[in-house]
Amino acid sequence: MELQDTLDTYRYFITEADKLGLSYFTLVRYSPSEVDGKQRAIEHDVLESYRSYVKDPETKIFLNSDVTPEEGAKLIEEGKIDGASFGRSWISHPDVTKRIKFGKPLDTPVNYMNVYSPGEDGRWDVGYTDYPEAQYD
């Protein structure tokens, strides 16, 4: 879809869905596919584009996709979001919560060749449970 069609479609959807008294919306930022390199969306600022369409003060807003812990904390402090999620970082960092707490980097890339299918050896755990933890003193 072109950008204007994307904006119109999701603004309409959010406006209508907001009438349902939902607990939360998760806005997912543009992130190019790291598996096949194909563009799957139109790049735009989803928080800026859609946040104001959630009118229900009880509905929480979460932001996902390449949110850093520092950015998430800042956006929460500014009242722009209620929470951030770290999906890919959670996959490739078994200790993601501890890393964030102790300021350790989230620097292990996701093994996309195995994350949604078994490896050549048929193992499903490769790409999900074989990532190293950080070193803590």
79-88, 111-120, 124-133, range with greatest mean pLDDT: 79-88
Domain boundaries, the chain: 3-85, 89-137
Average of per-residue pLDDT values in the chain: 90
Which band of pLDDT confidence, cut at 50, 70 and 90, is reported for residue 82?
very high
Q: Do 41 and 75 form a contact (C-beta atoms < 8 A)?
A: no
Provide the strand spans (E) within the chain: 24-28, 60-64, 83-85
Nearest alpha-carbon partner for 11 in 54, 45, 73, 58: 54
Six token digits for residue 66: 């390449």
Mean pLDDT (whole number) for 114-122: 79
Sheet of 83-85, strands arranged across:
24-28, 60-64, 83-85
